[in-house]
């Protein structure tokens, strides 16, 4: 419950949805009364006007102001809405960059789905996380081993010897070879791990999304996790506008593409020294 309340507070905060009249005190009280337990409930709050009017602190004027503030946020900017969802690793700057990259909420959600389908698997992630290896070295290892045809060789060999054989020595630097050999001393175990990782490589949709300025794999992983969670999908469905299911829901406005005709478009401007 504490986390849900803090999430609601973030959702209505100034840099997120910016709904006047819903501060920490109000959110905690509404949650305790069961009137607001998820973001979509805020936009259905007017149905409980009589109940609110009977409570202290909610006069006619304050209620009118509150419902007007809520109504004003039924149409919200893409970046502001994305930030308001409280996705881990998605701050204001990342939300703005994502909005500018995809422009529409629908395009963004579609690309998240494509990225989820192209997400690297756990075997690939385990190898990528080894100290001294990393993504580039792992990709080089998978390419070199596949081309050398060594995955089925060396049933009784140790990994250090096999990694130094053929074209692998040139493809992998010493720290990468050492990381693999230390994690999997026996070649059959390392060969199996590499074979699994080769089948679980990230797809192009994942790589392209993660390569966006300001995103990266950590934030993308958090985004995919958020949208893959069934509970979150339900929360969004009850929050967003749908002509049939939720006509009073929130509409996410398309972002505006960066101006292309500005005198400084495409330029990097650097100021040094003092500027008055």
Q: What would the pLDDT profile of 13-26 be if each residue is shown by its tens digit?
A: 999 999 999 999 99
Query: Could you tell me which of 78, 112, 123 has the C-alpha nearest to residue 212?
Result: 112
> For the chain, what is the radius of gyration of the CA atoms?
26
* Mean pLDDT over the full length of the chain: 90
C-alpha to C-alpha distance for 81 and 252, rounded to whole angstroms:
7
Residues 97-154 have pLDDT tens digits of 999 999 999 999 999 999 999 999 999 999 988 998 888 888 888 887 766 555 555 5
Query: Could you tell me which of 127, 101, 136 has the C-alpha nearest to residue 115?
Result: 101
Instruction: State pTM to two decimals.
Output: 0.85
Average the pLDDT over each of 53-67, 231-245, 254-268 and give the range with the smallest value. 254-268
C-alpha to C-alpha distance for 195 and 184, rounded to whole angstroms:
13
Query: Could you tell me which of 77, 11, 24, 70 has the C-alpha nearest to residue 236?
Result: 11
Helix axes 105-117, 92-102, angle to 10 degrees: 100
- pLDDT of residue 95 exceeding 90, the answer is yes
C-alpha to C-alpha distance for 138 and 143, rounded to whole angstroms:
9
- pLDDT of residue 229 exceeding 70, the answer is yes
Q: What is the predicted pLDDT for the residue at 165?
A: 72
Q: What is the predicted pLDDT for the residue at 171?
A: 75
Question: Cα-flanking dihedrals φ and ψ of residue 246, to 5°?
Answer: -150, 65
Residues 25-73 have pLDDT tens digits of 999 999 999 999 999 999 999 999 999 999 888 899 999 999 999 999 9
């Amino acid at each position: 419950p504490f986390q849900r309340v803090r999430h609601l507070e973030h959702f209505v905060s100034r840099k997120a949805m910016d709904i006047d009249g819903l501060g920490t005190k109000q959110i905690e009280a509404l949650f305790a009364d069961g009137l607001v337990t998820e973001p979509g409930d805020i936009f259905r709050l007017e149905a409980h006007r009589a109940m609110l009017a009977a409570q202290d602190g909610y006069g006619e004027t304050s209620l009118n102001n509150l419902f007007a503030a809520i109504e004003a946020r039924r149409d919200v900017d893409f970046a502001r809405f994305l930030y308001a969802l409280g996705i881990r690793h998605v701050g204001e700057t990342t939300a703005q960059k994502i909005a500018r990259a995809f422009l529409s909420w629908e395009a963004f959600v579609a690309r998240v789905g494509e990225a989820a389908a192209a997400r690297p698997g756990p075997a690939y992630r385990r190898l990528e996380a080894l100290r001294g290896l990393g993504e580039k070295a792992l990709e080089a290892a998978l390419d070199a081993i596949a081309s050398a045809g060594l995955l089925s060789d060396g049933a009784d060999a140790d990994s250090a010897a096999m990694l130094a054989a053929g074209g692998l020595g040139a493809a992998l630097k010493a720290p990468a070879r050492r990381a693999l050999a230390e994690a999997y001393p026996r070649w059959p175990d390392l060969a199996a791990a590499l074979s699994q990782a080769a089948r679980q490589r990230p797809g192009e949709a994942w790589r392209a999304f993660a390569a966006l300025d300001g995103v990266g794999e950590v934030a993308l992983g958090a985004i995919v996790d958020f949208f893959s969670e069934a509970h979150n999908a339900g929360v969004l469905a009850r929050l967003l506008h749908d002509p049939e299911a939720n006509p009073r829901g929130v509409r996410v406005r398309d972002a505006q593409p960066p101006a292309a005709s500005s005198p400084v478009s495409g330029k990097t401007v650097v100021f040094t020294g003092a500027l008055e």
